[in-house]
Amino acid sequence: MTIKTLDDLLAEGVQGRRVLVRADLNVPLDGSTITDDGRIRAVLPTLVALRDAGAAVIVMSHLGRPKGAPDPKYTLAPVAARLGELLGAPVAFAADTVGSSAVSIVESLSAGQVALLENLRFNAGETSKDEAERGAFADQLAAFGEAYVDDAFGAVHRKHASVYDVPARLPHFAGGLVLREVQVLARLTGQPDRPYVVVLGGSKVSDKLAVIEALLPKVDKLLVGGGMCFTFLKAQGHEVGKSLLEAEMIDTCRDLLDRAAGRIVLPVDVVAATAFAADADHDVVPADGIPADRLGLDIGPESVALFAEAVSTAKTVFWNGPMGVFELAPFAAGTRGVAEAIAKIDGFSVVGGGDSAAAVRTLGIDETAFGHISTGGGASLEYLEGKTLPGVAALEK
């Protein structure tokens, strides 16, 4: 089935209509300070298009993982302030999600104005597995709008009220972010231009096993870095010292290496440290010679060169997961080197959201050098695994 888009809604006309927009404003915070506003910026085109077309725009989002009740640590108030700065106009902020503050603000909202509701997850109904409880909350949200736009790709893999149930109650449309993500991921799972190289990092093999299984038959090379590489190295019989290790996944990794016929590429050197700390003593050591009293916190320079060579001729690259603990300066070179190599390819590159997208911004790499930077790490992986994404399925109905 086809999905109606934001352009379809704008063509219908939104002047004076209340439009509910599900955004992904789940930004990292240091206290009340936003440390990366990338997700806020990503939804701006949709909000500006609706505002400029005369809609009264009601934005809703989650932030963090509160336990279904208000928690000051997870308030969206700082996000409302930053959103107002980026829009160049005040954003009315409701102190609750569907309570008296929200009702008052929505009812007083004029054409061309934007409001933000408080954190959706302050309400147990948002994430409830009980259909009736979730549906009751969706009824309250849907009452605020005359149309619904989902531009929160980072949440479409969740069967939550604002993602799955609200679109069943209102005319529903996909925002530009969601539409672009689905188109890009369909390209990766269809007939991607070859050579097709996937670069995976992050902490655990178990987190990425399903996507490895799904992609392995389709890729020319699978490059593995990050904490997950040590379980693969252990499966080859190497000492990994105190490095992150999933002992229960060793046999699985050995099986993957056997089946991959040389297509899985592992680091040949790593940066091994005495402790998980920026000021810890560290050295570059061979991947098959990690001292027993050290832990690997990044891939080494020879591995960066090896990975860079592997992606240099690729026509399609998908990257998900950092190569090391990039948040600590001594262990950021691996992620930086691989990211810069991917950015240079003469082909289509996709950064799979989450920590990878954060690394691109944190390390100051030009975002425009990549073909696409996903706004949803978990959603991207589940799509590539072949899973049905509830939020996308809801837009298809």
Q: Is 282 annotated as a binding residue?
A: no
Q: Is 176 annotated as a binding residue?
A: no
Distance, CA of 268 to CA of 308 (rounded, Å) = 13
Type of residue numbered 366: D
Q: Is 88 annotated as a binding residue?
A: no
Q: Is 62 annotated as a binding residue?
A: yes
- Given a contact cutoff of 8 angstroms between Cβ atoms, the answer to whether 177 and 6 are in contact is no
Q: Is 225 annotated as a binding residue?
A: no
324: which 2 tokens? 């090391």
Query: Which candidate, 99, 93, 65, 66, places its Cα nearest to that of 77?
Result: 93
Type of residue numbered 228: M
Q: Is 207 annotated as a binding residue?
A: no
DSSP one-letter string for 293-308: T-EEEEE-HHHHHHHH
Kind plus residue range of the DSSP H or E element containing 362: helix 354-362
Q: Is 327 annotated as a binding residue?
A: yes
The residues that bridge with 269 in the sheet, in sequence order, are 286
Kind plus residue range of the DSSP H or E element containing 251: helix 250-259
Q: Is 134 annotated as a binding residue?
A: no
- Given a contact cutoff of 8 angstroms between Cβ atoms, the answer to whether 12 and 50 are in contact is no
Q: Is 24 annotated as a binding residue?
A: yes
Q: Is 22 annotated as a binding residue?
A: no
- Active-site amino acid positions: 39, 204, 354, 378
Distance, CA of 351 to CA of 360 (rounded, Å) = 9
Q: Is 226 annotated as a binding residue?
A: no
Q: Is 387 annotated as a binding residue?
A: no
Q: How many helices (H) and strands (E) does the chain have?
A: 15, 17
Q: Is 194 annotated as a binding residue?
A: no
Pairing relationship of beta strands 282-286 and 269-273 according to DSSP bridges: antiparallel
Q: Is 354 annotated as a binding residue?
A: yes
Binding site as annotated, residues for ATP: 208, 296, 327, 353-356
Binding site as annotated, residues for substrate: 24-26, 39, 62-65, 121, 158
Binding site as annotated, residues: 24-26, 39, 62-65, 121, 158, 208, 296, 327, 353-356
